[in-house]
């Protein structure tokens, strides 16, 4: 049985109790809903992989309540500290060296890091930090969807994919950002972008006064969870279209429509004014809705690549990629 609980102050104690005994709770964050387990609880963390049907033990992000909690587990260099102080809480994940001796008797379970000597860590926005604070341990949380499918931005979307497989869903309404966090790794003086996400790379570059490295190859090795095919709807996806073909649904962007739009089987506009933030927050929800409309293919209008457009285009490309054995 999966309870959906409105996320008010009264919900905190019940969620913590489930997490303490190794249960699974779907949590709202500003990016997407996450599927959380106590990061120190091996069975709990293993339960995440089982519920998602994840074929491999990819490393997970640990979510902390504050910087002090983060400091129990990882070493901050001056650059990452500056990033944390500037952008936390918020959609930024830092990959940092795990402390050899963690400052707690409930260390991060090795399943969370997939045995790496680094930990991906972030402080999310919102009430979920109250749960983490009371639990007094970070929660590991990937997006709360079946492996390879579209990430959920509402409690109902979580329920549609994972209902019956998890203990509780904390419902705080739709997520504001709508795409997953931006992941960066500090390597000496270099900052490497491992995954574009809800914090625009340009904002990070402005804050540090330097460019982010973006080697796709390195990202593939260092973020093993970044499979080519991901976020897949049932429908095929056709990107950067110039016209809509008969029978296709259309995911639109901006004020102007491509040819044939009037005949689309279904049409949703990510942002009529061409606002990339609005588009990011609508992306996964609209992909689900167009998928449910039953078209064999979802055609997608071109979306600019700057700012949050980088993350939007990254997710669309994965959704359109040939489906491999993981999808």
Binding residues for ligand TXA, rule: CB under 6 A, are 29, 31-32, 34, 58-61, 93, 95, 113, 116, 118-120, 124, 141-143, 180-181, 183, 194-195, 222-226
State the binding partner of 116 from ligand TXA, Mg ion, none, CB within 5 to 8 A by kind: ligand TXA
Q: Is 174 left (phi over 0), alpha (psi -120 to 50) or beta?
A: beta
Least spacing, CB of residue 315 vs ligand TXA, in Å: 11
Task: With beta carbons less than 8 A apart as the criterion, state whether 120 and 64 touch.
Answer: no
d(CA 144, CA 48): 9
Least spacing, CB of residue 151 vs Mg ion, in Å: 5
- Span from 39-47, 115-123, 135-143, 271-279 in contact with Mg ion (CB under 5 A): 135-143
Least spacing, CB of residue 142 vs Mg ion, in Å: 5
State the binding partner of 153 from Mg ion, ligand TXA, none, CB within 5 to 8 A by kind: none
Closest residue by beta carbon to Mg ion: 143
Closer Cβ to ligand TXA, 55 or 255, answer by number:
55
Both tokens assigned to 297: 């293919």
Closer Cβ to ligand TXA, 58 or 156, answer by number:
58
Closer Cβ to Mg ion, 12 or 62, answer by number:
62
State the binding partner of 113 from ligand TXA, Mg ion, none, CB within 5 to 8 A by kind: ligand TXA
190, 192, 199, 223, 312 from 195: Cα distances, Å: 15, 9, 10, 8, 11
Closer Cβ to ligand TXA, 91 or 309, answer by number:
91
State the binding partner of 59 from Mg ion, ligand TXA, none, CB within 5 to 8 A by kind: ligand TXA
Least spacing, CB of residue 118 vs ligand TXA, in Å: 4
- Span from 21-29, 36-44, 57-65, 142-150 in contact with Mg ion (CB under 5 A): 142-150
Task: With beta carbons less than 8 A apart as the criterion, state whether 205 and 83 touch.
Answer: no
Strands annotated E in 20-87: 25-27, 34-38, 61-63
Closer Cβ to ligand TXA, 95 or 319, answer by number:
95
Strands annotated E in the chain: 3-6, 25-27, 34-38, 61-63, 92-97, 118-122, 139-140, 168-171, 182-187, 190-195, 236-238, 249-252, 267-269, 297-300
Closer Cβ to ligand TXA, 2 or 58, answer by number:
58
Residues near 17 by beta carbon (within 8 Å), at least 6 away in sequence: none
| Interactions with Mg ion, residue window 154-183 (CB under 5 A) | none
d(CA 223, CA 314): 14
Spatial CA neighbour of 180 closest among 143, 141, 232: 143
Strands annotated E in 112-159: 118-122, 139-140
Closer Cβ to Mg ion, 113 or 143, answer by number:
143
Among 93, 143, 222, 313, binds Mg ion (CB under 5 A): 143
Footprint of Mg ion on this chain (CB under 5 A)? 143
């Amino acid at each position: 049985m999966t309870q959906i609980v409105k996320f008010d102050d009264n919900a905190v104690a019940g969620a913590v109790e489930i997490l303490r005994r190794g249960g699974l709770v779907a949590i709202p964050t500003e990016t997407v809903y996450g599927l959380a387990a106590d990061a120190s609880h091996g069975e709990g963390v293993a339960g995440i992989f089982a519920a998602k049907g994840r074929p491999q033990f990819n490393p997970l992000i640990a979510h902390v309540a504050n910087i002090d909690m983060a400091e129990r587990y990882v070493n901050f260099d001056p650059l990452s500290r500056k990033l944390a102080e500037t952008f936390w809480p918020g959609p930024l994940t830092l990959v940092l060296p795990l402390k050899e001796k963690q400052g707690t008797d409930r260390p991060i379970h090795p399943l969370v890091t997939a045995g790496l000597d680094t930990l991906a860590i972030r402080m999310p926005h919102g009430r979920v930090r109250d749960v983490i604070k009371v639990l007094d341990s970070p929660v590991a949380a990937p997006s709360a969807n079946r492996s390879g499918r579209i990430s959920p931005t509402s409690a109902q979307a979580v329920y549609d994919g994972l209902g019956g497989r998890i203990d509780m869903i904390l419902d705080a309404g739709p997520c504001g950002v709508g795409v997953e966090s931006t992941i960066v790794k500090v390597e000496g003086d270099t900052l490497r972008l491992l995954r574009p996400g809800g914090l625009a790379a340009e904002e990070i570059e402005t804050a540090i006064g330097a460019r982010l490295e973006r080697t796709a190859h390195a990202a593939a090795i260092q973020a093993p969870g970044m499979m080519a095919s991901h976020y897949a709807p049932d429908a095929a996806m056709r990107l950067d279209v110039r016209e809509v073909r008969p029978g296709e649904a259309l995911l639109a962007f901006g004020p102007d429509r491509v040819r044939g739009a009037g005949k689309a089987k279904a049409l949703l506009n990510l942002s009529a004014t061409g606002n990339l933030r609005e588009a990011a927050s609508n992306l996964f929800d609209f992909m689900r809705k167009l998928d449910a409309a039953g078209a064999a293919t979802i055609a997608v209008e071109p979306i600019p690549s700057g700012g949050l457009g980088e993350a939007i285009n990254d997710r669309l490309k994965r959704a359109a990629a040939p489906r491999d054995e993981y999808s």
